[in-house]
Amino acid sequence: MHKKLFIPGPVDVREDVLLKMATPQIGHRGKAASALQRGISEKMKKVFQTENTIILSTSSGSGLMEAGIRCCTRKRAAVFSVGAFGDRWYKMAKANGVPADKISSVPGQPTTVAMVDEALATGKYDVITVTHNETSAGIMNPCGEIGELLKTKYPEVLYLVDTVSSMGGADIKVDQWGIDVCITSTQKCLGLPAGMAICSVSERAIAAARQVENRGLYFDLVELYDYIQSKDHQYPSTPSLSHMFALDYQLDKMLAEGLEKRFARHIEMAEYVRAWGKKHFALFVEDEKYLSNTLTTMKNTKEISVGDLNKKLAERGFEISNGYGDLKDKTFRISHMADYTLDEVKELLRNIDEILGLE
Ligand SMILES: *Cc1c(COP(=O)(O)O)cnc(C)c1O
């Protein structure tokens, strides 16, 4: 039986969107491919709220995270981590021989403006990376405030942001916040199958990257950028056109829904799950200002077996997620992203209530 996935990615894909993956292939060097990719880029700029260049990558989001830190760091990167995905960015820097330091928050707490200010005051860094929405913890970091700090005090520092689990589900103002490289992937708030990543790159990020000697090739942001500019949105290697057909269609649907409405729907679902979480358990993130709009992490205060709960949910056609890493049994997570509706979220929680005997 199909299980509706309330895990934080991959999420369920609506059938009409999924079927677009089966569109007959086209040549990736023809005019039709250019038109498809140009159209995606124009629509994606609206979702990203940016005038920067959009780059598509046939990889998951991690590919472009690695590209970002490797291509943009000339001196040293300050990697701010509030959980597993911040840690991953640091590992990528190390694995590529990119000089970097990791600055971690206390578990459950955000990356603050003060932390960024303190690190940048040392003058050691020319790049910072921040996780906008940390999927292990359910934290949404104050990326707008951090961007404001950079603009006023450290305008030369490049700002790289992981929005893998929030772009398309939360209001992210790439240009207003001054984000130089903003990264996402298809299988979370965009509501598509995994396999394609998307980022926006600023002109100054590309100019900085040109000064970096070893940028790799497949994930070289300069190579991708130059190719897009000179070859009308085409790519150096064969992209997943299947994803592009579905993405183009999904972007039309998202823009037809209206971005403001889409973001409001995510907040509505988040508020419902939080209220449920507070009534029966507790929320992992205590300061409500930093709660994620796209997934909620509950503290497992009733010490339920999430494995057993998921077995029973599976019989009813649902799946939620246990905690990530160290938090495996101490927390559990429910996603409310992409195309889900409040009614579907209510249906999930009603089923959990029945299984656990909650009133
Ligand atoms: C899922 C996720 C990633 C990893 O993305 P992939 O597309 O799986 O490579 C990175 N960061 C965050 C915040 C995520 O939620």
- How far, in Å, CA of 295 to CA of 261, rounded? 18
Tell how far the Cα of 65 is from the centroid of ligand 1, in angstroms: 9
- How far, in Å, CA of 84 to CA of 102, rounded? 12
pLDDT digits (tens, 9 = 90+) for 272-284: 999 999 999 999 9
- How far, in Å, CA of 303 to CA of 356, rounded? 11
Atom of ligand 1 nearest to the CA of 9: 1
Atom of ligand 1 nearest to the CA of 65: 10
- How far, in Å, CA of 351 to CA of 355, rounded? 6
* Helical spans, DSSP H, in the chain: 15-20, 31-48, 61-72, 84-95, 113-120, 143-153, 174-177, 203-209, 221-230, 241-257, 259-280, 306-315, 342-356
Tell how far the Cα of 10 is from the centroid of ligand 1, in angstroms: 10
Name the closest-CA residue to atom 2, ligand 1: 164
Q: Is the pLDDT of residue 327 over 90?
A: no
Distances in Å between the alpha carbon of 321 and those of 5, 244, 254? Answer: 9, 28, 26
Share of the chain above pLDDT 70, in %: 100
Q: What is the mean pLDDT of residues 306-335?
A: 95
Q: Is the pLDDT of residue 325 over 90?
A: no
Q: Is the pLDDT of residue 329 over 90?
A: no
Scored b (16 or more CB within 10 A) or e, 186-216 reads bbbbbbbbbbbbbbbbbeebbebbeebeebe
Name the closest-CA residue to atom 12, ligand 1: 164
Closest C-alpha among 184, 145, 157 to residue 49: 184
Atom of ligand 1 nearest to the CA of 63: 9
pLDDT digits (tens, 9 = 90+) for 86-112: 999 999 999 999 999 999 999 999 999
Tokens of 266: 């995510």
Q: Is the pLDDT of residue 306 over 90?
A: yes
Tell how far the Cα of 341 is from the centroid of ligand 1, in angstroms: 23
Q: What is the mean pLDDT of residues 25-29?
A: 97
Closest C-alpha among 262, 205, 252 to residue 55: 205
Q: What phi, psi does 106 have (nearest 5°)?
A: -60, 140
Q: Is the pLDDT of residue 251 over 90?
A: yes
Q: What phi, psi does 320 have (nearest 5°)?
A: -115, -175
- How far, in Å, CA of 285 to CA of 5, rounded? 23
Atom of ligand 1 nearest to the CA of 186: 7
Atom of ligand 1 nearest to the CA of 194: 7
pLDDT recorded at residue 326:
82
CB 222 within 8 A of CB 209: yes
- Determine the 3-state secondary structure of 52 from DSSP: coil
Atom of ligand 1 nearest to the CA of 8: 15
pLDDT recorded at residue 150:
98
Q: Is the pLDDT of residue 115 over 90?
A: yes
- How far, in Å, CA of 145 to CA of 112, rounded? 9
pLDDT digits (tens, 9 = 90+) for 158-196: 999 999 999 999 999 999 999 999 999 999 999 999 999
Q: Is the pLDDT of residue 146 over 90?
A: yes
How many of the other CB atoms lie within 10 Å of CB of 96? Answer: 18
Closest C-alpha among 271, 273, 251, 272 to residue 339: 251
Tell how far the Cα of 207 is from the centroid of ligand 1, in angstroms: 26
pLDDT band at 1 (very low <50, low <70, confident <90, very high): confident
Q: Is the pLDDT of residue 256 over 90?
A: yes
Atom of ligand 1 nearest to the CA of 85: 11
Inter-helix orientation angle 259-280/342-356, to 10°: 10
Tell how far the Cα of 164 is from the centroid of ligand 1, in angstroms: 5
pLDDT recorded at residue 45:
98
Q: Does 165 contact ligand 1 (Cβ within 6 A)?
A: yes
- How far, in Å, CA of 216 to CA of 281, rounded? 46
Q: Does 131 contact ligand 1 (Cβ within 6 A)?
A: yes
Q: Is the pLDDT of residue 116 over 90?
A: yes
Q: Does 87 contact ligand 1 (Cβ within 6 A)?
A: no
Q: Does 162 contact ligand 1 (Cβ within 6 A)?
A: yes
Distances in Å between the alpha carbon of 254 and those of 101, 192, 308? Answer: 38, 12, 36
Share of the chain above pLDDT 90, in %: 97
The residue to mutate among 56, 66, 162, having the most atoms of ligand 1 within 8 angstroms of its beta carbon, is: 162
How many of the other CB atoms lie within 10 Å of CB of 230? Answer: 8
Q: Does 61 contact ligand 1 (Cβ within 6 A)?
A: yes
pLDDT recorded at residue 205:
98
Domains of the chain, CATH where assigned: 4-10+257-356 (3.90.1150.10), 24-255 (3.40.640.10)
Averaged confidence pLDDT in the chain: 97
pLDDT band at 359 (very low <50, low <70, confident <90, very high): confident
Q: Does 166 contact ligand 1 (Cβ within 6 A)?
A: no
Closest C-alpha among 211, 240, 201, 227 to residue 67: 201
pLDDT recorded at residue 328:
87
Ramachandran assignment for 219, one of left (phi > 0), alpha (psi -120 to 50 degrees), beta (any other): alpha
Q: Does 58 contact ligand 1 (Cβ within 6 A)?
A: no
pLDDT recorded at residue 296:
98
pLDDT recorded at residue 233:
97
Q: What is the mean pLDDT of residues 339-350?
A: 98
